[in-house]
A and B are shown apart, each in its own frame.
Chain A
Amino acid sequence: MTPRETAIALEPADQSAAVPAPEVADEILAIVDLETHFTMRRGNLKAVDKVSLSLRAGDTLCVVGESGSGKSVTARSILNIVKPGRIVGGRISFKPGDDAPIHLSDLDPYGPAIRAVRGGHISMIFQEPMSSLSPVHTIGSQIIEAIRLHQPIEKKEAREQAISLLKQVQIPDPEIAVDRYAFQYSGGMRQRAMIAMALANKPKVLIADEPTTALDVTTQAEILKLIKSLQRDYGMAVLFITHDMGVVAEMADHVAVMRDGKVLEYGDVDQIFSRPQHPHTQDLIGAARLMESGPAAKVAGTLSEEPILQVRNLNLAFGTTHGMLRRHRAVVHALRDVSFDLRAGEALGVVGESGSGKTTLARCLVGLYKVDSGSAMFTRGDGSTTDLCGRGGFGDRSLYTEIRMIFQDPFASLNPRMTVEQIVAEPMIVNRACPKSELRSRVADLLESVELPADVMDRYPHAFSGGQRQRIGIARAIALNPRLVLADEATSALDGSLRAQVLDLLLKLRSRLGLSFIFISHDIGVIRYFCERMAVMRRGEIVEIGPSQSICDNPQHAYTQELLAAVPRADPKQSRLRG
């Protein structure tokens, strides 16, 4: 008896729990009982645990799940690029029409047989278009290489094909763009180039692993549309990996919901959204729809009319030079006449896409950048006012006890060599805000208020998940009883249900501590959920500002309308991409 057979014999209950793959006509890819494991220093991680999926020719199957659910590893197992993991069980079969099926999981992962499939019959695109393209080769040379790996044609002919592929993915001036490098492309163009490369050999199956997660929402909408239309032109089946139920509703014909390496639910997209069976599916849909409306009352009590912060006509321009040779010079207006008021206890959301100036604004307000002109009058706790953007505004260090920040990346913003206690206590020590004898109990209180048990104090950040780490960051931010909190994409690194939990925690803290918030996000749903008012920024300007709900219901500026239209809704009936 092989070890695998033993495992099955020992776990008969597991068989019934797994959703069996339905036998379907014109199936092009069949995954049966796939098991992919990673050998860790401490034991074995079953990243994919008896997964069965079926993909029909021309169909779109969305695999959805939160991070760590095994959806990405499942996708990578198909082409057997799971190093350092290993496929230890199950079978993946590619069935190209009339030909005999190819059992991909049985092939040598370095052998010529599977290499003929990779990029030839089954192509793949990845999440980070920048780092997924070589930084030192031109886009053209990478596409030409993909073509010539599978077709015996001359370089010149391949180049012509590459240019026509770039044209198909709607890259402007493809004859010029073909000789450019990835860093000269914008994020959306890079993903288009990746798609062009994936289509080079007219594959039967396209695997897309979170292809729009790193992109702005309007760019995401364009890329999704492009994938849909190319899918029709090429008659491809698409296996689409995502954590976003909105994207699922836009794209999917069929949906598989994964968690902990297992498929929890599989079905038709309409059935999944209208009659979700598994509680986790219901949670995912619920969390996505939550962001489409807002909580009934954001905070208890009424807002004061007193402004805590009055920002007037902030301007900041960056001069940029490119490269060692300093060839291009350009001036970027990061902030143009930015003005707004923030009332005490209010949360103002700043929404915009990358490069809109929203993070620059936050950096100016905490004194990291010096503005060219303008002022930001902050009302201190003692009633005096200070210009945050003025000369030496932050020369007075006590300002930092009243204004705190929460950062985007819960992994990078905590020092890995400090314990949770040291991290949370640090601002109090630096500002001598708490006597040493009471420090530990104060940290325990803070951890309790972010709903972490006090006994985590002596552990290091690596022991925590992303959501827990963000809670530690929040505890650090409120340690000094600030009056204004700047949250820069504070929930962007978190998946759906975690995001809602952290937002609800922040709402609770707002009520309890009377905090004012400037909440920066690219996600208009998060801002509608959390903020009374929102400011929409584009290219350094505030194009629209007002109550969140009315902006979302009745956007005035064309850009706001575009932004709202681009947000995928977690409802397949509203999908604009399906025919």
Chain B
Amino acid sequence: MALLRYAVRRLLFMIATILALSIVCFGIIQLPPGDFLTAKMAEMAATGDAVNVDAVERLRAQYGLDRPFIVQYWLWVSGVVVGDFGFSFELTKTVREVIGDRLGISLAVEFLAIVVLWAIALPVGIYSAVRQYSIGDVAATIFGFIGLAIPNFLLALLLMYISFVAFGATITGLFSDEYMNARWSFGRLVDFFSHVWAPVLVIATAGSAQVIRILRANLLDELSRPYVDTARAKGMAEWRLIMRYPVRVAMNPLVSTIGWLLPTIISSSIVTGIVLNLPTLSPILLRSLLSQDMHLAGALILLMGVLTLLGTLLSDLLLAWIDPRIRMA
């Protein structure tokens, strides 16, 4: 009950924070001189296309791009509140459509990556700590540092190269051409999984390397605590007691980082997404920022902010739920 009251209070604070956040993101996307139309004109002039200045001015007036900052912000944010995120000039679709198209795929890729990440990191991290300085630990440490050191895009390029040379398969994108715009079906699902493993592997490798290191360090601290000896003196079997006591405690700091994963749905795989040509949100965030497609960029940045706040709240609640010391001490 107290936990619920706490969550409600936090949610109220979040609304205020989101409002402040929206001003900041709108300010940031307005910072570079010019707007989408001047960027578009410059591009057209550079490629030698004729520039219809009148038409551009008409567009500018239509979208309020010639109005003062505060008016533009108001037009934008009052739309956002009712779910109208504006219009993507570059993709000539509403922002809602753009995000809607890609959000599901982004979520799926990121979710799979997190599952794979933990499936690798948990057993390896625990083993690494319990058998400190064993050959397995050294191997995990080497893997960990390599995973941390290799940039994601390089790993993606490597995977592309290997799969092309060895299997003659291209692994860019998430769907083959015939399924690209098809409706979901069993065939499309199979096709999806035959593509998705590559980006999932790339994203999970770096992440799991990090989690292995953190888990190992946390667990090493806990393994020498007296309560572990207490459990031993009770007559518990070694692995069972390790899982029940020190691992349980060592997980707490990691649980508090789970919330940070939410915003990575948009931001984590920017470079991977571009290299592997994924239809996720990450690449269009970069593109919209480069082309000053302000409504799309604003919506994505705002979404990241909201996800960060939600993630932090989620982490805090999770931590309070699993750790009685946070809840009551």
Contact = CB atoms under 8 A, between A and B. Distances in A.
Contacts, number: 99
A184 interface: yes
Contact of A134 (B235, B249, B322, B327): B249
A128 B226 contact: yes
Nearest to A133: B227
B233 A324 contact: no
A124 B233 contact: yes
A150 interface: yes
Interface residues of B, number: 30
Indicate the member of A119, A128, A135, A181 with the most B CB atoms within 10 Å: A135
Interface stretch (A109-117, A284-292, A430-438): A109-117
A325 B7 CA distance: 10
A19 interface: no
A417 interface: no
Contacts of A133: 227, 230
B48 to A, nearest CB: 63
Given A136-B324, A145-B234, A322 B227 contact: no
B101 interface: no
Contact of B233 (A110, A119, A135): A119
B6 interface: yes
Contacts of A119: 233-235
Nearest to B239: A110
A85 to B, nearest CB: 13
B17 to A, nearest CB: 18
A300 B248 CA distance: 59
B146 interface: no
Nearest to A118: B235
A76 B228 CA distance: 13
Contacts of A127: 226
B90 interface: no
Contact of A126 (B2, B226, B326, B327): B226
B190 interface: no
A323 interface: yes
Contacts of B236: 115, 145, 149
B58 interface: no
A340 B241 CA distance: 53
Given A126-B226, A132-B229, A132-B230, A324 B245 contact: no
Nearest to A323: B328
Interface in B210-255: 225-227, 229-238, 245, 248-249, 252
Nearest to B316: A324
Contacts of A132: 226-227, 229-230
Indicate the member of A136, A146, A194, A197 with the most B CB atoms within 10 Å: A136
Nearest to A181: B324
Nearest to B234: A119
Contacts of B3: 325
B39 interface: no
Nearest to B329: A183
A277 interface: no
A110 B2 CA distance: 44
A79 interface: yes
B320 interface: yes
B6 A136 contact: no
Given A119-B233, A128-B226, A136 B238 contact: no
Contacts of B237: 110, 112, 115
B183 interface: no
Contact of B234 (A128, A135, A184, A197): A197
Given A135-B249, A324-B6, A118 B325 contact: no
A78 B6 CA distance: 49
Interface residues on A, range: 35 or more
Interface string A225-269: 000000000000000000000000000000000000000000000
A131 interface: yes
Contacts of B238: 110
Interface in A80-118: 81, 110, 112, 115-118
B1 to A, nearest CB: 10
B27 to A, nearest CB: 33
Contacts of A137: 245, 248
Nearest to A114: B235
B191 interface: no
A161 to B, nearest CB: 15
B35 interface: no
A327 interface: yes
Contacts of A145: 234, 236
Contact of B326 (A150, A324, A327): A324
B233 A79 contact: yes
B203 to A, nearest CB: 31
Indicate the member of B2, B234, B324, B328 with the most A CB atoms within 10 Å: B234
Nearest to A147: B234
Contact of B328 (A149, A184, A194): A184
B226 A81 contact: no
A65 interface: no
A127 B233 CA distance: 14
Contact of A118 (B232, B323, B326): B232
A123 interface: yes
Interface string B98-121: 000000000000000000000000
Among all A-B residue pairs, the 6 with the closest Cβ atoms: A118-B235, A119-B234, A119-B235, A124-B233, A115-B235, A132-B226
Interface of A: 76, 79, 81, 110, 112, 115-120, 123-124, 126-128, 131-138, 145-146, 149-150, 181, 183-184, 194, 197, 322-325, 327
7 contacts: A118-B234, A126-B230, A135-B324, A136-B252, A149-B236, A181-B324, A324-B316
Given A116-B235, A131-B225, A197-B234, 12 more contacts: A79-B232, A119-B234, A133-B230, A134-B245, A135-B325, A146-B234, A149-B235, A181-B324, A181-B329, A194-B230, A322-B328, A325-B3
